[in-house]
Amino acid sequence: MQPLLEITGLQTEFVTHAGVVRAVDGVDLVLHKGETLGVVGESGCGKSVTSLSIIGLLPKGQSRIASGDIRFEGKSLPSLSDAEMRKIRGNRLAMIFQEPMTSLNPVFKIGHQISEAVRFHLKLGKKAAWEHSIEMLRKVGIPRPEQIADEYPHQLSGGMRQRVMIAMAMACNPQLLIADEPTTALDVTIQAQILDLMRDLQKTEGTAILMITHDLGVVAEMCDRVVVMYAGQVVEETDVKTLFRDPKHPYTKGLMASLPQLAGDQTRLQSIPGNVPNPLEMPPGCRFAPRCSFRIDACDRVKPELLEVEAGHKCRCLLYEEVEA
């Protein structure tokens, strides 16, 4: 079956005063229809830049896709013109951004912001688009949708604004939904409601979800497969059950060890020593080597490849490669 989304060798660069920064370096991803793929890692690992590369919202003049390809429904997205991309973005391909207050326009009413995309993509009249917007607000569990549609973003709570963002993203029944940290700014109860809502919409619409997060609890609850990123590269990829049962990469093991345990467990929380490397001064060998407790001498000089260490389980680590002494 042809993948819905296929990324091969993606390299995304930013031009800065200090030099060219490669924020994403050789990323490969595959996502099928109806599947949920989690992308996890620390801040600055390249998760959000990957999503912005897919949806074509990288800042103009400051960034570029240096190499690689992004194919969505068989089409190469980087080769499309701005007009062609606008027909796909918000229609077949949609995104929920991390902070709804900065993503919603403060001077337009909620209903207007949803119906704008509906009128453009579904070619509905003004009245029909407004009614469709109200129906989408009702679908995402917003009470009094008729009144909410006539209100401004600042009049809603954080959880309600995030529901509005989901309603906007799902208004045109997209085939792929990119969710960039959709629950970060919400309390635990609202987080659970938002995740349940996304899961229900996925079941009814068959939408594939690319879940970008640093929260391993969200990954365990939502995802079928997981990609772990570090310093712009994929370091591990497998199904979600295998990742939690048998993580291979030392970085993934460090993330797992940093999770809080049950209240009765008095074991001290662990942390990964050091910091993510400066993207302008990457280590010559393995990028995780300066922080790795499993480091061997070869890690400082040999760049590891992303290899399949078990069936369906890939890892970028010299511990699983035959390295010349």
Give the domain 5-92+172-320 fold.
Answer: Rossmann fold (3.40.50)
How many whole angstroms separate alpha carbon 149 and alpha carbon 260? 40
Sign of the torsion formed by the C-alpha atoms of 201, 204, 205 and 207: positive
Task: State yes or no: pLDDT of 263 exceeds 80.
Answer: no
Q: What is the pLDDT of residue 205?
A: 84
State pLDDT tens for residues 292-311: 999 999 999 999 999 999 99
Q: For residue 6, what pLDDT band results from cuts at 50, 70 and 90? A: very high
Domain boundaries along the sequence of the chain? 5-92+172-320
Q: For residue 189, what pLDDT band results from cuts at 50, 70 and 90? A: confident
Q: For residue 193, what pLDDT band results from cuts at 50, 70 and 90? A: confident
| Average pLDDT for 263-279 | 77
Task: State yes or no: pLDDT of 324 exceeds 50.
Answer: no
State pLDDT tens for residues 232-256: 999 999 999 999 999 999 999 999 9
- Whole-number Cα distances in Å, 20 to 15, 23, 44, 66, 287: 5, 9, 16, 11, 18
Q: For residue 266, what pLDDT band results from cuts at 50, 70 and 90? A: low
Q: For residue 321, what pLDDT band results from cuts at 50, 70 and 90? A: confident
Q: Which residues, 6 or more positions from 13, have their beta carbon under 8 angstroms from its beta carbon? A: 20, 21, 22, 23, 63, 64, 66
Q: Mapping DSSP to helix (H, G, I), strand (E, B) and coil, where does residue 258 land? A: coil
| Average pLDDT for 112-131 | 93
Say how many residues make up the chain. 325
| Average pLDDT for 9-16 | 95
Q: Which residue has the tokens 């048998």?
A: 246
Q: What is the pLDDT of residue 309?
A: 92
State pLDDT tens for residues 29-80: 999 999 999 999 988 899 999 999 999 999 888 999 999 999 999 999 999 9
Mean pLDDT of the chain: 90
Q: What is the pLDDT of residue 191?
A: 82
Sign of the torsion formed by the C-alpha atoms of 40, 44, 48 and 52: negative
Proportion of the chain above pLDDT 90, given as a percent: 67
Q: Is 58 in contact with 52 (CB distance < 8 Å)?
A: yes
pTM of the predicted protein model: 0.91
